[in-house]
């Protein structure tokens, strides 16, 4: 695997990875207008994030 990444083709593929946004995060940020958490504290943020992921999954279904 490491040898593939050192080749010119592998370097080109890896370079593309930095430019590509995963569609899930793009959808959550752009379409659902989610930019920051509204709660404070790790447990509250986890709960808010789980609700956000559930809403995203329901939207996809």
Q: What is the pTM of this model?
A: 0.62
Which residue in this structure is represented by tokens 């943020």? 45
Q: Residues 15-57: pLDDT tens digits?
A: 887 777 788 888 899 999 999 999 999 999 999 999 999 999 9
In this prediction, residue 13 has a pLDDT band, given cuts at 50, 70 and 90, of confident
CA distance 22 to 10: 20
């Amino acid at each position: 695997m490491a040898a593939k990444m050192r080749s010119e083709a592998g370097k080109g593929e890896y370079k593309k990875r930095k430019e590509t946004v995963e569609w899930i995060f793009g959808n959550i940020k752009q379409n659902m207008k989610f930019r920051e958490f509204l709660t404070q504290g790790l447990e509250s943020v986890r709960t808010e994030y789980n609700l956000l992921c559930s809403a995203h999954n329901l939207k996809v279904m």
